[in-house]
Chains A and B, each alone.
Chain A
Amino acid sequence: MNSAYPELIRIRFLMMLAYRVNYYSGIVIYAINIGAYYFLWQAIFGDTPSLAGFTVAQMTTYVAVSWMARAFYYNNLDREIANEIRDGSVAIQFIRPYSYLMVKLMQGFGEGLFRLLLFMVPGMVIVCLVFPVTLPRDPGVWALYLVLLFFSFLINTQINILTGLFAFFVENNEGMIRMKRVLVDLFSGVVVPISFFPGWLEQVMQWLPFQAITYLPSSVFTGRTEGAEAWGVLLVQLIWFGVLLVPIMGVWRMARRRLFVQGG
């Protein structure tokens, strides 16, 4: 692998460290998110012990771990790519001896790593102290969850890259980016677990990549998915990772051709 890539991760990590206001406000805002959803779900459950296969306790853990996972896999690569396409700086990337998309992936990973270590870990400790979160006891689940989390990042980043690349074909894809953001939050299961969706929508979700970002990994973490089924989650993620490579490559190739024809 090109030795520039680890360096890109490191630089982005340092860059994130430099944005102090973002760091502190991010912690506060995620705390509010988790808190608000905790109470919202408490109210939704009311006196019922379980809804859509979730107990109140599982729901609490689910909310906490899902939001923390979101902190890790979330990035703005879609907007970054779209901006670089619009201001034309993407053309320069073609003459550099590395793959532009890999560069973006690495930058996203540096950002994610920063959030994982400085955000998710301390955040999770605080959340566990404040809310009744039950953590898995089995170290195997922890290990598997970390792998799943990494694939959450990859799949979410693939979707972001794909959205960003659309800027090659439309003048302004800001609306698309915003829509994608809401879609991912809703359909990945951060806001509502997919088992709450009406039957037909739940069926549709089975055929979309979003569930592999939050819903499936978080289900493993809360212990709702166990044993062989948990490994099945990894398989689903692997499949989606592979499948999503196809449109990215296709769009990238089309974009390159377009760029060369139009001259940037």
Chain B
Amino acid sequence: MFYGSLFWEYLKNYAKTRLTYRADFWIEVLSDLLFQGLNLIFILVVFAHTDSLGGWSQAEVVFVYGYFMIPYGIHGCFFDLWGFSERYIVKGEMDRILTRPAHNLFQVLLENMNPPSLIGSAAGLVIMAVSWLQLDLAVQALDLLMLAVLTLGSTLVYFGLYTALTAIAFYTDAPTGILPLLYNIQNYGRYPVGIYNRTIRFLLTWIIPFAFVGVYPASYFLDRPEEGAASLALLTPLIGLAFAAAGLLIWNHGVKRYRGAGS
């Protein structure tokens, strides 16, 4: 309740700030969409040369891509702490956060909210719907419920992973450049994991589980019983909870090691 009203208050302030820089707002929305669109180009380019990727058709891969965009957009809106290390650790803004009576991570997340990212989620939904029709899949009420549950799970995976990686800033003196490096890796969870060797598949499933924000949950809707992916799909919420919990633990432990800026 308290956090709900805080959320609303921050959202209002976000809107006010944004209205002062209107031109930037639209540039950002546009670049965000292009950013997503460019990833789609890879898939389209590749399928111009082949009919299948590890036995998956273009429509199926695009479907996975569409699914992926939904949790990715939500993540970008609420959990993207890009630049945390510079702003909050090096410049010491964490001091201010820590003298306020609300959970510190929650405050930091609210201050960095970026609602335009949700437009990417909407685009993902559209892409998913289009490929759904192309693939001629049945639509059931249960599917919508599952979509919500799986999206929530995938979003939690993102949240946990990025919270943990952002928290590294508490443990090391040097600014970390890991997050941008990771950008490419999240793409690999969007392709059928069967094409990778065991090491990478293991990595994408259990260590940096980007397969749980892409191919595993998406394959629940695709009719591919021959693979284990669909059954792993149901693990998505559990993996999400586990990673979110681990991320929070690492964060909370990290905050205790915060040493402030300057002296």
The finding on whether chains A and B are genuine partners in a shared complex, rather than unrelated, reads yes
B160 to chain A, nearest CB (A): 18
Residues of A within 8 A of B200 (CB): 32, 35-36, 39
Residue-wise, chain A 1-42 has the 8 Å CB interface mask toward B (1 for contact) of 000000000000000001111100110011011011001101
The size of the chain A interface, using a CB distance under 8 A, is 44
CA distance A74 to B9 in the complex (A): 40
Pick from A190-198, A224-232, A244-252 the stretch touching chain B. A190-198
A21 with B191: CB separation less than 8 A: no
A170 with B188: CB separation less than 8 A: no
B42 with A191: CB separation less than 8 A: yes
156-206 of chain A: CB within 8 A of chain B? 170-176, 178-179, 181-183, 185-186, 191-192, 196-198
B174 with A21: CB separation less than 8 A: yes
Residues of A within 8 A of B41 (CB): 186
Knowing A35-B199, A175-B32, A186-B41, the reply to whether A29 touches B54 (Cβ < 8 A) is no
The size of the chain B interface, using a CB distance under 8 A, is 44
CA distance A170 to B53 in the complex (A): 42
Q: Is B140 an interface residue (CB 8 A)?
A: no
User: Which one of B23, B168, B181 has the greatest number of beta carbons of chain A within 10 Å?
Assistant: B181
Knowing A179-B31, A183-B38, the reply to whether A29 touches B49 (Cβ < 8 A) is no
Knowing A29-B185, A175-B32, A176-B31, the reply to whether A192 touches B24 (Cβ < 8 A) is no
192-228 of chain B: CB within 8 A of chain A? 192, 195-197, 199-200, 203
76-103 of chain B: CB within 8 A of chain A? 86
Knowing A19-B174, A36-B188, A178-B35, the reply to whether A51 touches B195 (Cβ < 8 A) is no
Q: Is B19 an interface residue (CB 8 A)?
A: no
B195 touches which of A40, A172, A183 (Cβ 8 Å) = A40
B45 touches which of A35, A173, A197 (Cβ 8 Å) = A197
Q: Is B176 an interface residue (CB 8 A)?
A: yes
CA distance A203 to B66 in the complex (A): 29
B185 with A32: CB separation less than 8 A: yes
B46 with A44: CB separation less than 8 A: yes
* Interchain pairs with CB closer than 8 A, number: 115
CA distance A46 to B41 in the complex (A): 20
CA distance A83 to B180 in the complex (A): 17
CA distance A39 to B199 in the complex (A): 11
A33 with B185: CB separation less than 8 A: yes
B174 with A186: CB separation less than 8 A: no
Residues of B within 8 A of A36 (CB): 185, 188, 196, 200
Residues of B within 8 A of A181 (CB): 180
Residues of B within 8 A of A42 (CB): 195
Q: Is B177 an interface residue (CB 8 A)?
A: yes
Residues of B within 8 A of A183 (CB): 38
Residues of B within 8 A of A52 (CB): 49
B203 with A32: CB separation less than 8 A: yes
Residues of A within 8 A of B30 (CB): 175
CA distance A43 to B200 in the complex (A): 14
CA distance A223 to B134 in the complex (A): 41
Q: Is B48 an interface residue (CB 8 A)?
A: yes
Knowing A48-B50, A175-B31, A196-B49, the reply to whether A26 touches B195 (Cβ < 8 A) is no
Q: Is A55 an interface residue (CB 8 A)?
A: no
A25 with B24: CB separation less than 8 A: no
Q: Is A76 an interface residue (CB 8 A)?
A: yes
Residues of A within 8 A of B175 (CB): 19
B42 with A192: CB separation less than 8 A: yes
| Residue of chain B at shortest CB distance from A187 | B38
B196 with A39: CB separation less than 8 A: yes
The 6 A-B residue pairs with the shortest CB-CB distance in the complex, in nearest-first order: A175-B31, A43-B195, A19-B174, A175-B28, A179-B31, A36-B188
Chain B contacts to A: CB under 8 angstroms: 21, 23-24, 27-28, 30-32, 34-35, 38-39, 41-42, 45-46, 48-50, 52-54, 86, 168, 172, 174-178, 180-182, 184-185, 188, 191-192, 195-197, 199-200, 203
Question: Can you list 22 A-B pairs, Cβ within 8 angstroms, ordered by A?
Answer: A19-B174, A19-B175, A20-B172, A22-B178, A25-B181, A29-B184, A36-B185, A39-B197, A40-B53, A43-B191, A44-B49, A46-B50, A52-B49, A171-B21, A175-B31, A178-B31, A181-B180, A192-B46, A196-B45, A196-B48, A198-B45, A198-B48
